[in-house]
Amino acid sequence: MAVIEILGRDERTERQFRLGHLLTVALIVVGLLYGLNLRDGAIFATQPYNNVRAGISMDYPVAWLLDTDGDYVVRLRDMRRIGYKTTIQITLAPAGGSASNRNILDVVNISRPLRLNSYDVQAIEPYTMPDGTAATRMTYTFVDDEPNKFLQTVPVVVIGWDVLVRRGEQALIVTFRSDANTFDADLVFFERLLSSLEF
């Protein structure tokens, strides 16, 4: 049979334990913060894009595929995403002085249903760019279908935003499209890009 004698508390040892605990917790918190920072840095890392001819510069996410060969100034796609590739696209359209934003979007809306499946405009409303510039935002949906009919692909419902800003005799349309299931999560990429956009 063992006898345990409880003596008075050793204040020094207790302080050391407490300090050790605090340091451990602090280290974990710092580690977590550092990890989160690294993660954010990796996910939201950007690289610059400049187009002198179009007068556009911005920072876009690293490892998004940059494409300038279409009828747009630039198109960026997140090729690492599984499923519909989240897309940001910038288009310049000539716009007469007397043309309203609605006129420009009407023209867009007339031709889009011929190219996008089940195209449906949800809303057209005022929008303020991060730098305070007044703009118009159109929200729409469509069903993305694989053009290669030899593949069996389930169509994806896509939500799109067109943010239209006027620049003299031009209209700048910044388009954001994402799978409806991941739209809110992906929106941060678009907002960060808009924040860095100069035109």
Positions touching another protein (CB under 8 A) are 62-70, 79-85, 113-117, 146-154
Selection from 73, 79, 81 nearest residue 167 by Cα:
73
Identify which of residues 84 and 127 has a Cβ nearer to another protein in the complex: 84
Question: CB–CB of 137/161 below 8 Å?
Answer: yes
Identify which of residues 103 and 111 has a Cβ nearer to another protein in the complex: 111
Question: CB–CB of 70/166 below 8 Å?
Answer: no
Identify which of residues 112 and 170 has a Cβ nearer to another protein in the complex: 112
Smallest distance from another protein to CB 138, Å: 20
Identify which of residues 41 and 70 has a Cβ nearer to another protein in the complex: 70
Smallest distance from another protein to CB 87, Å: 13
CA distance 179 to 191: 16
Smallest distance from another protein to CB 107, Å: 15
191 forms bridges with which residues in the sheet? none
Smallest distance from another protein to CB 114, Å: 4
- Helix (H) / strand (E) element for 38: namely helix 11-43
Which amino acid type is present at position 105? L
